[in-house]
């Protein structure tokens, strides 16, 4: 007797696909989970600035009120008010009937200044988050107009990311919470334009992404290719410079060749690497 094997339980990949999510925020959120680089949101600079300005105004008013109350209590001979400035325990232990306006102001100050400091620190951290990569923003714009979303966002935030027809028509305070790795100028240009090579036939050498359901290329692959290319170039330039100098006999021509290779090396360092200015000067001088 041959027993039939029970079918394997469906995997998470079989049970869930972002394409099956309801159109709108659910589908957009699920796709951002698959492509974290497309997690692009507003920083709301103006609203955060308003919040800080309002809190600052309230604190200024509170600051003046505390100073005036301290002056009044210092010259008030009733009870222990005149000791508030030198003995904090007197203010804490004084009976409420005597009047604890200064203590009430201090307690209000603690809450308000804590709220202000948190908002200030949060805004400082938000300002360190870089704007999104143009490629990722274009990706979101195209997705919102695609058949998957059918341009179905109709709320006040529907124009947050702009659209392919007018890609720059979006708020100026967009940020990407997972920005792409910033490489040298050459690698960045290759990564941004590699999609055109992908369309020309290189895509046949890549596999489908199990989550996206289509072929994609990754920045890491592009970066590896640019590393190989820059390594070859770095090896050839010194050889070429020596070969040229050996073949020249005139001192004037040799000086011109040295100057030309210095310019070439500094240009290559700037374009093909992420070298700092001090590194460029040091290597060129060497």
Write the pLDDT tens digit of every residue in 270-284.
777 766 766 666 666
User: So what's the pLDDT on residue 23?
Assistant: 85
Query: Of 223, 230, 233, which Cα lies nearest the Cα of 191?
Result: 223
Is the pTM higher than 0.75?
no
Name the band, by pLDDT with cuts 50, 70 and 90, for residue 24.
confident
Long-range Cβ contacts of 237-240 (<8 Å, 24+ apart): 237/261, 237/264, 237/265, 237/268
E strands of the chain, at which residues? 40-42, 174-176
Adjacent-strand bridge partners of 166: 163
Query: Residue 122 and residue 138: Cα distance in Å, rounded?
Result: 28
Give residue limits of the domains in the chain.
13-43+131-180, 45-127, 183-286
Tokens representing residue 225 in the block: 């290719």
Place of tokens 């200024």: 60
Q: Which of 99, 88, 280, 78 lies closest to 184 in space, CA to CA?
A: 280
Measuring CA to CA, how many Å separate 85 from each of 1, 150, 236? 96, 67, 76
pLDDT at 210: 53
Q: Is the dihedral of CA 189, 190, 191, 196 positive or negative?
A: positive
Residue 70 and residue 88: Cα distance in Å, rounded?
12
Task: Supply 118's token pair.
Answer: 């948190």
Which residues, other chains included, contact 175 with Cβ-Cβ below 8 Å and sequence gap of 6+?
Answer: 40, 41, 42, 43, 126, 129, 130, 131, 132
Query: Which residues, at least 6 apart from 253, have a Cβ–Cβ distance to it below 8 Å?
Result: none
Query: Which residues contact residue 212 at a Cβ distance below 8 angstroms, ignoring those fewer than 6 apart?
Result: 34, 35
What pLDDT score was predicted for residue 155? Answer: 86
**Residue range 50-75: average pLDDT?**
94
pLDDT of residue 150: 76
Residue 170 near residue 161, CB atoms below 8 Å: yes
Phi and psi at 27, nearest 5°, equal: -70, -40
Two structure tokens written together for 31: 């796709």
Q: What are the pLDDT digits (tens) for 211-233?
A: 455 555 556 666 667 777 777 77
pLDDT value at residue 279: 65
Q: Which residues contact 24 (CB under 8 A, 6 or more apart)?
A: 149, 152, 153
* Measured distance CA(268)–CA(186) in Å, rounded: 10
Tell me how far apart the alpha carbons of residues 92 and 72 are, in angstroms, rounded to a whole number.
17
pLDDT digits 0-9 by tens, 112-171: 999 999 999 999 999 999 999 888 898 899 888 888 887 778 888 888 998 888 888 899
Alpha carbon dihedral 234, 240, 246, 248, in 10-degree steps, equals -130
C-alpha span between 198 and 202 (Å, rounded): 5
């Amino acid at each position: 007797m041959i027993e039939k094997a029970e079918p394997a339980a469906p995997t998470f990949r079989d049970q869930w696909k972002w394409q099956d999510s309801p159109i709108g925020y659910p589908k957009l959120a699920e796709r951002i989970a698959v492509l974290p680089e497309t997690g692009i949101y507003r920083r709301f600079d103006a609203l955060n600035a308003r919040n800080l300005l309002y809190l600052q105004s309230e604190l200024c008013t509170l600051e003046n009120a505390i100073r005036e109350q301290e002056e009044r209590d210092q010259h008030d001979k009733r009870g222990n008010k005149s000791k508030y400035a030198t003995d904090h325990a007197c203010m804490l232990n004084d009976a409420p009937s005597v009047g604890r306006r200064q203590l009430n102001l201090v307690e209000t100050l603690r809450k308000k200044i804590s709220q202000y400091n948190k908002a200030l620190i949060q805004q400082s951290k938000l300002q360190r988050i870089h704007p999104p990569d143009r490629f990722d923003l274009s990706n979101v714009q195209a997705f919102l107009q695609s058949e998957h979303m059918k341009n179905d966002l109709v709320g006040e935030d529907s124009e947050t990311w702009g659209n392919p027809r007018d890609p720059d028509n979006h708020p100026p305070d967009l940020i990407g919470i997972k920005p792409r790795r910033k490489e040298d100028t050459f690698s960045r240009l290759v990564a941004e334009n590699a999609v055109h090579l992908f369309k020309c036939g290189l895509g046949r050498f890549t596999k489908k992404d199990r989550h996206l359901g289509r072929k994609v290329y990754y920045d890491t692959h592009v970066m590896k290719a640019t590393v190989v290319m820059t390594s070859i170039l770095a090896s050839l330039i010194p050889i070429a410079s020596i070969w040229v100098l050996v073949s020249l006999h005139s001192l004037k021509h040799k000086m011109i060749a040295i100057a030309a290779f210095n310019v070439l090396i500094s240009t290559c360092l700037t374009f093909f690497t992420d070298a700092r200015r001090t590194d460029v000067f040091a290597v060129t001088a060497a």
